[in-house]
Copies of this chain bind each other. A is one copy, B any other.
Amino acid sequence: MKELEERIRKEGTVKQGNVLKVDAFLNHQCDVALYDAMGAAWAEHFQGKTITKILTIEASGIGMACVAARHFGNVPVVFAKKAQSINLDGDQYVTTVYSFTKQREFPVIVSRKYLGPDDHVLLIDDFLANGKALHGLIDICKHAGATVEGIGIAVEKGFQGGGDKLREEGYDLDSLAIVESMDPETGDIEFRG
């Protein structure tokens, strides 16, 4: 997606340790017009598929998933929660995810009430690096007996391999920008052609 690549080039910052900061428009300050264009792009890619639910993970995936849902007939968006909360029942799917950003493992939960065997799910998240968060969401869909119809990602860090592994596993993965390499010294970012 040209527009997203241009925004990353213009407003993204490359930091040491494979960190790409896009918090000016994607995951701290949110450009909702860009989110809407991203939703339209995913809808075009996944057209013809029946999507009954969008599943994402807190916090950065929620905004783009909710805006994108409009392009999928306003299907419900469920967001996986990163910790036990007294507002949730015990009747949950649980998995464990390692966060690259937070550098620790944490439990991820989805209420059984909101995901089941009849669901055809589109997974949405802001970043895909090694794929640990996505594998957590896929794990939850497996627990629920739900079908993963596709995966919509804003920014894939292609050089970390998680995306290609998911493609090899047969998932229909649509990453709107795939960073092939980035240099914290020069700030250069190369996208997959």
Q: Is the CB of B114 within 8 A of A28?
A: yes
Q: Is the CB of A29 within 8 A of B101?
A: no
In the complex, which residues of chain B have a beta carbon less than 8 angstroms from the beta carbon of A35?
66
Nearest B residue to A76 by beta-carbon distance? B29
Number of copies: 2
In the complex, which residues of chain B have a beta carbon less than 8 angstroms from the beta carbon of A27?
87
CB contacts under 8 Å to B, within A53-94, are: 58-59, 62-67, 69-70, 74-79, 81-83, 85-88
Residues of A within 8 A of B (CB-CB), count: 44
Instruction: Using A63-B63, A87-B23 as known contacts, say yes or no to A78 and B33 having CB atoms under 8 A apart.
Output: no
Answer whether residue A96 sits at the interface, using C-beta atoms and an 8 A cutoff. Answer: no
Answer whether residue A21 sits at the interface, using C-beta atoms and an 8 A cutoff. Answer: yes
Q: Is the CB of A33 within 8 A of B74?
A: yes
Answer whether residue A1 sits at the interface, using C-beta atoms and an 8 A cutoff. Answer: no
Task: Flag A9-31 by CB within 8 Å of B: 1 or 0 each.
Answer: 00000000101010110011111
In the complex, which residues of chain B have a beta carbon less than 8 angstroms from the beta carbon of A36?
70, 74
Nearest B residue to A17 by beta-carbon distance? B86
Binding site for B on A (CB under 8 A): 17, 19, 21, 23-24, 27-33, 35-36, 58-59, 62-67, 69-70, 74-79, 81-83, 85-88, 101-103, 110-111, 113-114
A-B contact pairs, 10 of them (CB 8 A): A23-B114, A30-B62, A30-B66, A30-B77, A31-B76, A32-B70, A63-B63, A64-B66, A66-B66, A66-B67
Q: Give the 10 A-B CB pairs with smallest separation, nearest first.
A: A58-B59, A63-B66, A29-B114, A30-B77, A59-B59, A32-B69, A62-B62, A33-B74, A62-B63, A29-B78
